[in-house]
Structure 1
Amino acid sequence: MYQALLIIYLIVSIVLIGFILIQQGKGANAGASFGGGASGTVFGSVGAGNFLTRTTALLATTFFIISLVIGNINAHRNNVKVDTFDNLSEVAEKAVSKPAEAPAVLEQQKNSDIPQ
């Protein structure tokens, strides 16, 4: 279900970007009355604005709802990752215990380097 939501989220976001880029600004209506060619569109001179506005609002609402659902799923996932900061006491104990072992390790390395 999570992967399906991610795919739907991606598709909705791409379509939403497309619909936002297709829309004309508020000042573009004045240019349409002087032969801008808007009356020859599929939706007519006024219909495209309503269709694009409503579709953009629907896609934006869907985008935000899916965002909230995906965020909720991620918040309640049980993927426990061990972080170094979560186990600082264990890391500190290992750091403290290693210097005590270091002279023995160095002694073994010195003995192994000496040719026999």
Structure 2
Amino acid sequence: MQNFYTLIVVVQVLSALTIILLVLLQHGKGADMGASFGSGASGSLFGATGSSNFLSKSTGIAAAIFFGATLALTFLSSNRTPSVGVMDNLSAVKTAPAAASAAATTAAPASAVGQSGQIPK
């Protein structure tokens, strides 16, 4: 089960990186404004914004994979057995040294205190 969870996390991270890369490779809608006013051919029947190209279709597929992986991770996380958290381990470590140091201070021998009331070095 842990291997499947790790595989889904890897798929999600790779799809997120793919989405970032594909979005950065695409040009914005503002770049097509010149084509619609005659400074270049728009290259499609419905104008500059009417059709989608390979990059936008690939971005949609990567987004669908990302959302599918996110839903799968949510489903797997909700069905996992509860484990001991980091904070639970931290509170157990904090109480043990505190109890040990309290016992050490109360068990100081009375002979260690000099006649002047000071502890010798």
- Please give the TM-score of this superposition, normalised by the length of structure 1: 0.58
Task: Identify the residue that residue 109 of structure 2 maps to in structure 1.
Answer: 110
Aligned length: 92
Report if aligned partners of 1:23, 1:49 keep a CA contact under 8 Å in 2. Answer: no
Runs of 4+ in 1 over 6 A off after TM superposition: none
Residue of structure 1 in register with 2:80 after alignment: 77
How many angstroms apart in 1 are the aligned matches of 2:6 and 2:111? Answer: 55
Structure 1 residue 51: Cα displacement: 1.5
* Alpha-carbon offset, residue 108 of structure 1: 2.6
Q: CA deviation at 1:67?
A: 0.7
CA distance in structure 1 between the aligned counterparts of 2:107 and 2:10, rounded to whole angstroms: 58
1:28 shift after superposition? 1.1
Q: 2:24 aligns with which of 21, 24, 43?
A: 21
Identity among equivalent positions (%) equals 27
By relative contact order (CA 8 Å, sep 6+), the higher-ranking structure is 1
1:3 and 1:112 mapped to 2: Cα distance? 61
Shift of 1:14: 0.4
Deviation at 1:20, TM superposition (A): 1.0
Looking at secondary structure, tell me which structure has more helix per residue.
1
